Amino acid sequence: MNDLSPDEKKPSKLAKWSRRGFIGAGVLAGGGLLIGIGVRPGNPIGALGPKVAAGAGEQLVNSWVKIDTDNIVTAIVPHCEMGQGAHSVLAQMLADELDASWDNVRVMQAPADGSYVVSDTARMFAAPFTLNAADWLEPTWDGLFTQLGKSMDLLITGGSSSIRTTGQHQMRIAGAAARQMLIGAAADAWEVPAEEIATRDSMLVHEASGNSAPYSEFASAAADQPMDHTPTLKTRDQYRLMGRSKARTDIPAKINGTAEFGIDAVPDGLELSYAAVVRPPVPGTTVTSMDANRAEGMSGVLQILNMGNFVAVVADSYWQAQQAMNTVGIEWSQSESPVKTMDDQFAVFASALDGAGDTGGDQAAARGDAPGALADAATTIDAEYRAPYLAHAPMEPLNCTAHVADGKCDIWTSTQVPLMARSEVASTIGIGADDITIHQQYLGGAFGRRLGSEYVAMAARVAQATGYPVKMIWSREEDTQKALYRCADMSRMRAGLDESGALVAYDSVFTQRHDPAEACVPAMYDIANTSVRVAEAELHLPFQAWRSVDHSQQGFFIESFIDEAAAAAGADPLDYRLSMLTNAPRHTAVLEKLAEISNWREPSAEGTAKGVAIVESFGTIVAEVIEVDMTSGKPVLTNCWAVCDAGYVMNPDGFRNQIEGGIVFGLTAAMYGELELEDGAIVQSNFHDYKMLRMNEVPNIEVALINSGDVPVGGAGEPGLPPAAPALTNAIFAATGTRLRELPIAKQFV
């Protein structure tokens, strides 16, 4: 059985892994230095060089850092940039270990090639660092995970992982190794001991002899230096860039409009045509007939294509394509899904939960004897919670530019998974992966949506059919109604309290368990008897990871129900949580700090109240207090305080941005997020009926950070989200006595 107790987690292997890596070096055209990680002896290194730095003479590929003759340091990052700031902070981590001058650091997106798989991400997903591997096995694991990553196309940006995997275990090692080699080259030239050479701001300095030089002067010679595969990394007191709010490298281009998102792609030398598409209104159905008479006569139209599972109109401009698309009459096949409305979907969930009963289903985690303790409890409480389907609704609609010619395919798109997209294109249009090039653009938001690649394969099919380059753009309506979704779910929860009100038994059963595996388990709390069960049920709409994945609904279920237990015990909800965190000093510190900055213990103004929630996700503990004003009869969000412990924060400003973004995303979903079904099709279509929280509805947000120290660094992109919904509904309960067990909130106060 899966043991829950935090004190029995296995010791981290992180430190050991961070000291290992296979490094190679090479000389750039013109005499620069190129450092790579993950190149093993015998690993063929031919094809990548031209992609990394065009021009003759490049030797090494699979590289993470270049230093050119103008003393510019370029960090080559394998993760995509979707607004989260990963490009910049990964460069910051590399540049710090290299002692590079931040003003002269550039960022380059790594090409979508198997050599750039983020093997550390593979390791994280397949076998978390806490897994207890025999020491003698470890050396083989490094290669194993690189291989595994390649075979599974794991060039992924997701799981709030960029900093804590690639940053900690690849970028920093590359920077530190490059620094040592530069020092070695300078020591040889100046004939002084290497230990006496200092580095700062991309300069080498030997004070005693008065020698100094920019890195560029020794960049070429450095490549001939022996390379330490386990360079010494800086300790925290030596950081110069890490831990500081350095300005992001991608912001200027986003301010002045030169940044190229997927939808901006205008590949050199290609004349683009444009495609609008319509997909089936109900998942799994196909086109049975198409009437394109009207569209054929419309301005700019080139082709109308019935692709079986979607229809495309190709025209000279997107506007013309979409206008013509709107006139095409399409009949769709009948769906076999029994789900026509959300009531039907919840009935499917309820039936699965009924089947599981009090003890059935798959046991996801257990401790003690929950059924027995529930039977013996002085008080028991029961509740049923519901979560709706949600769309990702990224600002940049799904789009992809594709050109298929001469047995090769070029793709320009914004994606979180370029290699998986490549594989999907390969299997869809029958061209080998090596003949497909994915040109990665900035992502105008993704939130998990761009982990799916069906839109990339669709564009490739259209481009293959036309024979000329096509930019396909989904309308906002297509994006909202015909996509992949955060799953709906239902959870039944029971708690047993003893005479003193203490929580002695906890049981939950729900139908959806995707990722991360631990999201459904309230592991941090000292509850002697815990049972967590899954009774799987079919989803009508296709699933896709949505910011914080299972934590997004489980955070709401668990932290609302803990609040119910506190209410049943007549206890202060924050103190009640503290009383169950005796084995969790970091969580305790976070909650205590939160109580302080939110003035938790002071009475709220008439009509207002505060709610609290705490969730650990993606390695970061986040607790939030939300204050709500109910005097108008509707919830008005006045304040939000968040305290986060990510172990160590690499860029405090960037981290706060992500936490604030996660909170607003979570509150948007909590207040408004809902997809309804009519005849099995989604009703909501655009931002007028799939609302975002507006500026005037967003509470003041204050984020405090705790760097608690010697623990693996946690993520930033997702952890701000899970506590937002329960903190808000708990506040509404505190203000009104009404417990909200389903979302969204706003429509319950019309």
Q: Does the protein bind another protein through residue 694 (CB under 8 A)?
A: no
* Contact call for residue 182 and another protein (CB under 8 A): no
**Would you state the structure tokens that stand for residue 474, as one six-digit string?**
């989904």
End-to-end CA distance of the chain: 46
DSSP for 310-323, please give it: -EEEEESSHHHHHH
Both tokens assigned to 534: 């899954």
Answer yes or no whether residue 405 interacts with another protein by CB under 8 A. no
The torsion angle over the Cα atoms of residues 109, 110, 112 and 117, rounded to 10 degrees, is -130
Residue 414 in contact with another protein, rule: CB under 8 A: no
Pick from 90, 364, 628, 713 the residue near another protein by CB under 8 A. Answer: 364
The DSSP call for residue 231 is P
Give the integer Cα–Cα distance in Å for 144 and 147.
5
343 or 689: CB nearest another protein: 689
Report d(CA 522, CA 576) in Å as an integer.
Answer: 14
685 near another protein, judged by CB under 8 A: yes
Residue 228 beta carbon to another protein: minimum distance, rounded to whole angstroms: 32
* Residue 332 found at the interface with another protein (CB under 8 A): no
Question: Which one among 122, 181, 504, 524 touches another protein, defined by CB under 8 A?
Answer: 122
| Residue 297 found at the interface with another protein (CB under 8 A) | yes
Q: Which of 96, 120, 424, 674 binds another protein (CB under 8 A)?
A: 424
Tell me if 290 contacts another protein by CB under 8 A: yes
| Residue 541: C-alpha distances to residues 282, 393, 710 (Å) | 8, 15, 42
- Exactly one of 417, 644, 716, 728 binds another protein (CB under 8 A); which one? 417
Q: How far is the CB of 690 from another protein (least distance, A)?
A: 11
Give the helix/strand (H/E) hosting 589: helix 585-597
What's the rounded Cα separation, in Å, for the pair 164 and 171? 11
C-alpha–C-alpha distance, residues 43 and 58, integer Å: 16
Q: Is 445 helix (H, G, I), strand (E, B) or coil?
A: coil
Using CB under 8 A, which of 18, 220, 428, 736 touches another protein? 428
Residue 32-71 contact track with another protein, rule CB under 8 A, x = bound = ----------------------------------------
Pairing state between β 436-440 and 470-473: unpaired
Nearest to 560 by CA among 392, 381, 406, 345: 381
Name the token pair of 649: 């924060």
Give the C-alpha separation, 557 to 418, whole Å.
Answer: 34
The verdict on 307 binding another protein (CB under 8 A) reads yes
Query: In this complex, which beta carbon is closest to another protein, that of residue 322 or of residue 531?
Result: 322
Which one of 52, 65, 222, 305 is in contact with another protein (CB under 8 A)? 305
Q: Does 330 bind another protein (CB under 8 A)?
A: no
Number of helices (H), then strands (E), belonging to the chain: the values are 20, 28
Strand partners, 405: 408
Q: Is 326 in the site for another protein (CB under 8 A)?
A: yes
Q: Which two tokens stand for residue 552?
A: 């997004």
**CB 435, min distance to another protein, A:** 17
Note whether 453 binds another protein by CB under 8 A.
yes
Residue whose CB is less far from another protein, 638 or 686: 686
How distant, in Å, are the alpha carbons of 379, 611, 623 from that of 567?
12, 12, 19
Residue closer to another protein, measured from CB, 126 or 192: 126
**What's the min distance (Å) between Cβ of 57 and another protein?**
37
Q: Site for another protein (CB under 8 A): which residue of 273, 491, 579, 730?
A: 273
Q: From CA 473, how far away is CA 287, in angstroms rounded? A: 20
Pair of tokens at residue 196? 């006496």
Comparing CB distances to another protein, the nearer of 461 and 656 is 461
Strands 489-497, 379-387: parallel, antiparallel or unpaired by DSSP? antiparallel
Q: What residue has token string 């939160």?
A: 594
184/181 Cα distance (integer angstroms): 5
Window 490-519: contact mask with another protein (x via CB under 8 A): ------------------------xxxx--
Number of other residues whose CB lies within 10 A of the CB of residue 59: 16
Considering the rule CB under 8 A, would residue 451 count as an interface residue with another protein? yes
Least distance to another protein, CB of residue 147, Å: 14
Angstrom distance (rounded) from CA 668 to CA 495: 29
Closest contact distance (angstroms) between CB of 504 and another protein is 25
Choose which of 71, 74, 146, 322 interacts with another protein (CB under 8 A): 322
Site string for another protein, 517-546 (x = CB under 8 A): x------------------------xxxx-
Q: Of 3, 4, 1, 6, nearest to 621 (Cα)? A: 6
> Between 458 and 477, how does the x/- string for binding to another protein read (CB under 8 A)?
---x---x--x------x-x
Interface stretch with another protein, choices 284-292, 330-338, 605-613, 659-667 (CB under 8 A): 284-292
Which of 452, 661 has the CB closer to another protein? 452
Instruction: Give the other-Cβ count within 10 Å of 210's Cβ.
Output: 8
> 503 or 539, CB closer to another protein?
539
Stretch that binds another protein, among 63-71, 121-129, 231-239, 253-261 (CB under 8 A): 121-129
Q: Which of 122, 118, 92, 117 is nearest to 234 (CA)?
A: 92
Question: In the complex, which residues of this chain contact another protein (CB under 8 A)?
Answer: 1-3, 122, 125-128, 131, 152, 156, 158-159, 271, 273, 286-287, 290, 292, 296-309, 316, 322-323, 326-327, 364, 417, 420, 423-424, 427-428, 451-454, 457, 461, 465, 468, 475, 477, 484, 514-517, 542-545, 678, 683, 685-686, 688-689
